[in-house]
Amino acid sequence: MPVLHNRVSNEELKELLMQEKGPRTTISFYTYFPIQNPKEFRDFLYLHLYALKVFGRIYVAKEGINAQISVPSIDLEAFKSFLYSIDHLKGLRLNIAVDDDGKSFWVLKIKVREKIVADGIDDPDFSMENKGKYVNAKQMNLLLDQKDTIVIDMRNHYEYEVGHFDNAIEVPSDTFREQLPMAVDMMKGNEDKNIIMYCTGGIRCEKASAFMLHKGFKNVFHLEGGIINYARQAKEFKIEPKFIGKNFVFDNRLGERITEHIIAKCHQCAKPCDEHTNCLNDGCHLLFIQCKECADKFDGCCSKECKDTIHLPQERQKELRQGLENGQKIFNKSKERLRPRLDEMNGL
């Protein structure tokens, strides 16, 4: 029986990636469809994708599949042939990265999850079969030009901070499961208006559109393929993008530039900047925005304390890390600034 998981260290894998001579293509895709045996499907995928030297992160659940990967460009057609040979995945839309250096992933991880996107929905009557209408880039721009359209960003604060659509409303939470009921509450009184929902690649806003319809909203749309597909179509159709700034992505790049606008600020000095980084202190790894000057000043760390820590002997650093819970840490600011925008929209 072949090994169905990685056994090489991250450091070695990163080094091997940097030594690769051929280009890679970064791709994301998802679809909701019933999977009877997610574990069996996961192992089947791993065997074939490992053979094609695919790297990335894939989640499999009874409700479908969600993937962010990179493929050797020379094997792109072979990858598509394999993927499209699977029932329910034939002809699936693949979001090709628009700002890609091919260094997005260096290992293949395929995990079985309860859901491909954690939503907190426990209502047995909820169904993904009734979801909002897809809109492409042209349709999105047309709807955005209409006065009665409300556009809702279903991403986290740190994603919204570096780039978003004109006049998009942020749902002030950094977990999707909290955002769903919040979006419903925020939109009360607007049941008959056009509501467009969007996210990075389409998976969150597709489920959000179904949830809004389930809660009684009438005219719900969602951006097909998310911002990634919108940016590609904007180039293809030669239309001016209404998304401004950078699209945060969940791989080593941490962002794809859509327009040259820089709408965020360095979290340390407040200069215009939209470069996300992780604090270099292994006991911290805070995700935050840092300009080059502050990166030099703090040695890639989020604070003087972390800067001092990374210059301590390794053994001392390990001692300081003991007992720390080092989950996902994200720089976040109060979202009270949203209140005036919501009050204006609701005529208060």
Residue 61: Cβ within 10 Å count: 20
Please count the helices (runs of H) and the strands (runs of E) in the chain.
12, 15
3-state helix, strand, coil in the chain (%, to 5): 30, 20, 45
Instruction: Please tell me what DSSP assigns to residue 74.
Output: G
Return the structure tokens found at 35: 């999977």
For residue 129, give every residue at least 6 positions away whose Cβ sits within 8 Å of its Cβ, in sequence order, or none: none
Do 224 and 133 contact (CB within 8 A), yes or no? no
How many residues are present in the chain? 348
Do 235 and 98 contact (CB within 8 A), yes or no? yes
Distances (CA, A) of 213 to 191, 195, 207, 287, 319: 9, 10, 10, 34, 52
Distances (CA, A) of 12 to 26, 68, 224, 266, 315: 21, 21, 37, 32, 22
Q: How many Cα neighbours within 13 Å face the side chain of 11?
A: 0
Q: Is residue 199 flagged as an active site residue?
A: yes
Catalytic-role residue among 199, 266, 279, 294:
199
Q: What angle do CA 46, 48, 50 make, to 5 degrees?
A: 60
Return the structure tokens found at 239: 């239309």
Q: Which residues are catalytic?
A: 199
